[in-house]
Copies of this chain bind each other. A is one copy, B any other.
């Protein structure tokens, strides 16, 4: 009498977690310095110092205010700070009323999914996609529709998207900069996607919404920028997290933004607030809300991620690997030399190099290397990647 589907989500081990835990065990045997763990997407750059200073100041506040309930959508000053910051970045006119503060991006996504989709509907995932999306979508009862990856450029196969849009399509999830590819979808890609979605929305007589999952929005390199999606496709709901941009993934603070340009934006905002109640959201952590109210413009030092990215890309391509050059986030995809990503991950594991096969991302044939690691460890891993390559040549 236990719900089997939920038991499944609770017992199916994530491949990433399994590798990570294997790494911890191996470290106890061979020494921490001999394990090359590229499995987790855990920020490796410290939280900006300003955060601790702000928390120290906040501790002088009246405790009932500091630790008290805020409105479900967030404290007024937090919503105002977020709206101001997003307006400055985007050039759009975002007001506090557009912002719903959440416990990270994940519950923002589940609330938005449950506000927009129910049994009989369809939610579209664009491979490669974050492996948690199927779990996030599960309570809606909607069917998942997967669009295969563009394994050449890791942009989008627009014709494959179009083929799969049906009268039941309610949501397409867009994640850019992308986990696991590190690719930023170009304005051209997103414009082409918008064109198809607008045409199909008209054909089927109802809006199809984008959920833009953008925790890596500010983690961009080479002077790139993450396009502001609502300006390209109005029916876009943004789900954001400060996990990466403030290096505080454990603190669970982020927001949903429903811009005015969204069709039925007020009703949609209300439905997201309602779905948030339904998942047990009361408010985002109040102390952290006050941190965000004062820290929206802080950024960690991204140069370490950039250096790792460049070093790894240059070294691995010099060895002979085919790599997808990332422009954002802190991941890089490497093609399995013989196309078998599971075997590639296993082979690397034998050398205590822990890299994640992309099968669970809906895109087999590659491994994901997290570059949010110490530069020293990354440099010391290069000879092992060479050895692994040579094994493939035998």
**A interface with B by C-beta (< 8 Å):** 1-3, 5-11, 40, 42-44, 46-47, 51-52, 55-56, 59, 62-64, 66-70, 103-104, 106-111, 114-118, 132, 135-136, 138-139, 141, 170, 206-207, 247-253, 264, 267-275, 277-289
Contacts and interface: CB of A to CB of B under 8 A. Distances in A.
A47 B114 CA distance: 35
Contact of A271 (B6, B55, B107, B282): B6
A281 B64 CA distance: 26
Given A2-B115, A67-B247, A135-B274, 14 more contacts: A3-B117, A6-B275, A7-B271, A9-B274, A10-B269, A10-B275, A47-B67, A52-B63, A63-B248, A64-B247, A69-B250, A136-B278, A252-B283, A253-B285
A136 to B, nearest CB: 6
A46 B63 contact: yes
Given A9-B274, A252-B103, A206 B279 contact: no
B114 A9 contact: no
B55 A59 contact: yes
Top 5 closest pairs, chain A to chain B, by CB: A250-B286, A9-B274, A10-B274, A107-B280, A10-B270
A67 B118 CA distance: 35
Contacts of A280: 103-104, 106-111, 136, 279
A111 B116 CA distance: 20
Contacts of A106: 280-282
Contacts of A8: 274
Which of A3, A8, A51, A280 has the most chain B CB within a 10 Å cutoff? A280
Contacts of A285: 103, 250-253, 285, 288
A110 B111 CA distance: 13
Which of A10, A11, A64, A253 has the most chain B CB within a 10 Å cutoff? A10
A6 B250 contact: no
Contact of A248 (B67, B111, B248): B67
Contacts of A284: 252
A270 B7 contact: yes
B249 A7 contact: no
Contact of A3 (B68, B114, B253, B279): B114
A8 B114 CA distance: 13
Which of A51, A110, A264, A271 has the most chain B CB within a 10 Å cutoff? A271
